Amino acid sequence: MKITNVRAVPVRIPFDGEPYPGLSYTTYQPDRTGRLSPKRPSRVLDYVIVYIDTDEGITGVGEAQADIGFFGNTVEQVFYAVRDYLGPNLIGLDPFDREYIASALNWRGNSCSRAGIDLALLDLMGKATGRPVGALIGGVHHARLPVSKEIGGGSPDDMAAYCVEHIEQYNIKAFKAKIGGNPEMDAIRLRAMREAVGPEVSLRADANQGYRTAKDAIRFCRLCEKYDVNLELLEQPVAYQNIQGMALIRRSVDVLIEADEGCYTLQDAMILIRNEAVDVLNIKIGKSGGITNAKKIAAVAEAAGLVTVVGTALGLGPERAAKLHLASSTPTMLPHVEFSELTLHGALLIDADERIFSAPVDEDGCLPVPTGPGLGVTLDDARIATHAIMID
């Protein structure tokens, strides 16, 4: 089988509501210094859908996210990278040579563009063999995975109420609060959440690099200990370049410390490990450049005695499916997969597939791992045509 064409279709999706309830999409929250994604000045999310055609008539479909605020790329950059630079290098190659292709395209940056290609290759391999992606990358250890939901911020009472609402409505048993700014207020927020949800629910916190100093983050963790929050982990408390600060926080507190913005590549993971800077590595398909590299990051984490977690990235459909395939096939990952995109917007999936991903999740707060060939989802061409945008 040979690749005959790589196509890139940019789409722009409007969405209702807030990606992180409680924190306005466009307005600045005075006591939160951490940066939130997405950053467009209007309520839209951009993606590039990647199609890889073959001489056997099978097409793989992937998704490349475009988010200058988090991933550092615009939809225009992703589109040009896939159409004009990465894609042409694939013509004539066997799509089953996925590891070789990932290596050949492993240029600096463009992680989302490379992820879109990697997902399309895996989708293609699955369709060609009649197997779900999970079966090709390690086997499906879990038929469904528990969901963790993010909370944008707001008053302690609002954040606590949001948790209770989602437990009652969807039976979700894990939440991650967006914090980062005022350690005292942040700890009070987490205390209110813990008091509202009881002892069994997992509570995580993500500062998105929001604490100005490592000592602010240490203070937050110690207050959480004092308040019996039982915080499962604290994600990216300080700037991603501040590896020594991360190491200091990790040494100073019992809470597990996680890198997100600081962990894109396999080499990033190794630097964090060598500096004993983290307990947990956050993996996002758009950061690592696809599942192929994500699996390698999980492997080095395993060797170093660290755990990994699959983070939220506001995926469209193929990316959401890919997260489930990745987590279900990697036994060393923490169980809860972060899915803020659950209630974010209507996807471009066909209705049957969309139902897999739309809230409410099942009665136990879990999402099923898609079982169809490839990524196991099908994009609706009519919806894509509606949301496609013109670039050059």
- Give the Cβ contact number of residue 293 at 10 Å: 25
Q: What is the nearest approach in angstroms of Mg ion to the Cβ of residue 204?
A: 10
Query: Residue 12 is encoded by which pair of tokens?
Result: 């722009």
Q: What is the nearest approach in angstroms of Mg ion to the Cβ of residue 390?
A: 32
Find the part of the chain contacting Mg ion (CB under 5 A) among 56-64, 117-125, 136-144, 254-262: 254-262
Q: What is the nearest approach in angstroms of Mg ion to the Cβ of residue 206?
A: 4
Find the part of the chain contacting Mg ion (CB under 5 A) among 130-138, 214-222, 256-264, 331-339: 256-264
Tokens 């001489």 correspond to: 55
Convert residues 179-218 into a mask of x (bound to Mg ion by CB under 5 A) and - (unbound): ---------------------------x------------
Cβ-proximal residues to 148 (8 Å cutoff; 6+ apart), any chain: 172, 174, 175, 176, 202, 204, 336, 337, 338, 339
Of residues 224-253, which lie at the interface with Mg ion (CB under 5 A)? Answer: 235
Q: What is the nearest approach in angstroms of Mg ion to the Cβ of residue 205?
A: 10
Measured distance CA(257)–CA(249) in Å, rounded = 8
Q: Which is nearer to Mg ion, 260 or 341 (CB)?
A: 260
Q: Which is nearer to Mg ion, 283 or 349 (CB)?
A: 283
67 binds Mg ion (CB under 5 A): no
Q: What is the nearest approach in angstroms of Mg ion to the Cβ of residue 261?
A: 7
Q: Find out whether 279 and 257 touch, Cβ atoms under 8 Å.
A: yes
Q: What is the nearest approach in angstroms of Mg ion to the Cβ of residue 367?
A: 19
Cβ-proximal residues to 10 (8 Å cutoff; 6+ apart), any chain: 46, 47, 48, 49, 66, 75, 76, 78, 79, 388, 389, 391
Q: Which is nearer to Mg ion, 63 or 206 (CB)?
A: 206
279 binds Mg ion (CB under 5 A): no
Of the candidates 175, 148, 146, 147, which has an alpha carbon nearest to the alpha carbon of residue 159?
A: 175
258 binds Mg ion (CB under 5 A): no
Q: Find out whether 212 and 183 touch, Cβ atoms under 8 Å.
A: no
Tokens 């008091």 correspond to: 195
Q: What is the nearest approach in angstroms of Mg ion to the Cβ of residue 73?
A: 17
Of residues 348-377, which lie at the interface with Mg ion (CB under 5 A)? Answer: none
Cα angle 87, 93, 99 (rounded to 5 degrees) comes to: 85
Q: Find out whether 26 and 44 touch, Cβ atoms under 8 Å.
A: no
260 binds Mg ion (CB under 5 A): yes
Q: Which is nearer to Mg ion, 235 or 268 (CB)?
A: 235
Q: Which residues of the chain form contacts with Mg ion (CB under 5 A)?
A: 206, 235, 260
